[in-house]
Amino acid sequence: MTNKNINLWRVRLIQLLFLLFLFIIFFRIIYLQVVLSKDLKKLADNQKRFSTSTPVFRGEIIDRKGMTLAVDSIKFDVYIHPKNYNPSIEKEEKLAEILNINAFDLQKIAKRKYISRLVSGLDKKSAKQINLLKIRGIEVHSRNYRIYPQNKLASHILGFVNWSFSGDSGIENAFDRYLQIAKDHRKQVILRSDGLPVYHLSPYVPVINSSLGQVIELTIDSGIQYKTENILKKNVEIAQPDKATVIIMDVKTGEILSWANYPDFNPNEYSKYPLENMNNWSITQMYEPGSTFKILTLAAALEKKKIKEDFKYLDKGKIKVNKTTIKNYNYKAGYEKELDLINILRHSSNTASAEIALSLGAENFYKELKKFDIGEKTGIELQGESAGYLKDYNQWSQIDLATTGFGQGVVAVTPIQLVTAVNAIANNGILVKPHLIKAIKNADKRKIIKKTQIKSKRVISKKTAKIMTTIMTESVKENLEDQSHLSGNIKNISVAGKTGTSQKFCKETGTYYPDQVITSFIGFFPAQKPKYLMLVVFDNPKIGRFGDTVAGPVFNEIGEFLTQN
C-alpha cells in the first residue's frame, strides 16, 4: 500500500470517528431534551429551591361566650447577611426607616462578620415593604406569635406558649395535642445561581388552611373573670398576702366560671415574670383547711347518725385528748356555753368539732371524707394537680382524729379540692367533678369534636345536704346581725357559708408558724336554690387575720356582682 493510500485511509477513519461522535451527541441531546425532559426539569427546580418550615396556626382558646383568649398571629423577623449586603444609600435609608433603626446603627451592624437579627415581631405591612426593596443580604422570616388579647386575664388557666412554640403551662400545655394539630408544613424558597435565596420572592404568608389546630372552648365567663380579678387585686393590696385565690363554680354542672390567682402574670410577656408567678398554686399547693373543714365533719356525723339536727354541746372552751389540750381561738377560763349545730359553726368551735370527730371514730370519718374525694385529685384539666393529703386512718392517733375534725393535723387540701367537696352539700349531696373545658371544636368553630360530660356521684343523702344547708345559712345570718361587713353579706340573697382560719404549717421545723395563717371563706348562694359556689383563700395576709375580715369582703363584693348581672 502506497503512502498516499495510507494517508487517505487515515483521513477516512478520522472522518468516520468524528461523524460517530456527532451522532452520539445528537442522540444524547434528543434523549435529554425529549425522553428525560420532565425529570430533568423537576431536578433543576429542586436545585433552585430549598424547603423550610412554615408556621402553622395553633387553635384558638375562647371563653364560654366566644371571646378570644388566645390566638395565633403571624409576625416577621428580619436578618442581615453582612457578606452579601451592599444596598444603595436610598434603599438603606428606607430600610432603616421601616425597621425604625438609626441608619448609622444599621451600617455598624452590617460591618459584623456574622448574621444578625435586625428586628423581631415586625408586622405584615412592614415585612412586605422590606421584601419589595429587594435588598440582597436581607432576609424576612415569618413565624407564629401567640397573642393573648386580654393580657393577664385568666393567665394561670391559659398558661403560655414558649419560644419553641409548645404549650408550657395551663390549657396551652394540657391540650397542646389539640391546639397544634400539624406541627410541620413546608414551603419552598427560590434560590439564585449562587445558591442564596431570592429574598423578595420568598413567601412570607404561611400556609394555614386546614392546618389550623382545634379550638378549645372554656367554661370561664370572661366578664365574671375580669370582675373577680379586679376585686381580688384590690383586696390583695389591702391584706398583702403571699398568695390568694378565688374560685367560682356552677353548682349543678361543676363548670368553673372564674378562677383568679395572685400573684399573676401576662402570658404575652411571660419571660419578664419570676417562675412562682406562673405557678397555679391553687392546684399544686396543699394547705390545712381549718374551720371550713367543719362543714364536712358535721355532714359526716349527720350521715352516720352520730348526731341529729337537735344536737347540743356544752362548750367549755377547751378539751383534753390524751396529753394534748385543744382550745377554741377565743378561749376564756371559766366560760362555757351550750351550742347547737348552728352555733357550733357560727362560733367555729374547735372543741365541739373535735368531740364530734371522736364520736365518729377514725374509720368512719376517714371513709366519709374519702367519699368527698379528700386526698384524691379532682381531675381538673390542668397539669400538676396535687392529690392533697389524708393519712390512712390506721395510722391516726386520737389527737389526729380530733384535730381532723377542725381541718388540721393529718389532712391537707388544695383550694380546688375543697370547692369540689363543699359543692356536694350545695348540690343536694351529689359531687360533680369540676372542669374548665366546655367543648373542643374544629378550626371554624362550627363542629363540636368533643364535649365535656358531667361526672357525678352521690356522697351524702339529700336530707343530710338540706340539714347542712340550713345550718350553714343560719350560722351566717346570725353572724351578720351586728357586723354586716362580714362574710356572706350579699344584699337580698341568702348565703350558706363558713369562714376558715388555720395556722400555717412549716415543713422545715415540723411545727406551726406562730404568726402566719391561711384565711378563707367558702359559701354558696342563693342558699336554698344555689347557683354559685365560691371559695376565697388568702395565704399569710399581713393585714388582718380572720376569714371574716380578709376573705369575707372579697366574697361579698363578687357575690353582689354575680347576683346583679
pTM to 2 decimal places: 0.83
pLDDT grade for 550, boundaries at 50, 70 and 90: very high
Q: Which three cell numbers stand for residue 348?
A: 367555729
Task: Name which of 277, 242, 232, 321 is nearest 513 in CA terms.
Answer: 242
Task: Calculate Rg over the CA atoms of the chain.
Answer: 36
Taking CA atoms, 100 is separated from 119, 122, 259, in Å, by 9, 11, 41
pLDDT by residue (tens digit) across 464-474?
999 999 999 99
Q: Domain end: 218, 253, 270, which one? A: 218
pLDDT digits (tens, 9 = 90+) for 393-443: 999 999 999 999 999 989 999 999 999 999 999 999 999 999 999 999 988
Does 100 fall in a domain? yes
Distances from the Cα of 97 to the Cα of 101, 109, 126, 340, 522, angstroms = 6, 15, 10, 78, 58
Please indicate, yes or no, whether residues 305 and 207 belong to a single structural domain of this protein. Answer: no
Residue 320 has what pLDDT? 93
Residue 8 lies in a domain: no
Considering only residues 62 and 46, tell me which one the structure prediction assigns the higher pLDDT: 62
- Shared domain check, 324 and 198: no
- Reduce the DSSP state of residue 483 to 3 states and report it: coil
Which residue type is seen at 224?
I
Give kind and range of the element (H or E) at residue 74: strand 68-80
State how many domains the chain has. Answer: 2
Q: What is the average per-residue pLDDT within 105-122? A: 88
Using the predicted structure, report yes or no on whether residue 201 has a pLDDT greater than 50: no
Strands 215-218 and 61-62: parallel
Instruction: Check residue 219 and give its pLDDT.
Output: 98
pLDDT at 43 over 90: no
d(CA 510, CA 276): 23
Least confident range of 54-58, 73-77, 101-105: 54-58
Strand-pair partners of 371: none
Residues 6 or more apart whose Cβ sits within 8 Å of residue 48 = 190, 191
Residue 93 is part of a domain; what is its CATH number?
Answer: 3.90.1310.10
> Cell numbers at residue 39, please?
425529570
Residue 177 domain-assigned? yes
Tell me how far apart the alpha carbons of residues 248 and 69 are, in angstroms, rounded to a whole number: 19
User: What is the C-alpha separation between 505 and 11, in angstroms, rounded?
Assistant: 110
% the chain with pLDDT above 90: 60
Helix (H, G, I), strand (E, B) or coil at 349: coil
Average pLDDT, stretch 269-276? 92
Helices (H) and strands (E) in the chain, counts: 20, 22
Q: Which domain holds residue 180?
A: 51-218
Residue 208 clears pLDDT 50, i.e. is over it: no
Given this model, what pLDDT does residue 331 score? 77
DSSP element (H, E) containing 524: strand 511-525
CATH of the domain at 325: 3.40.710.10
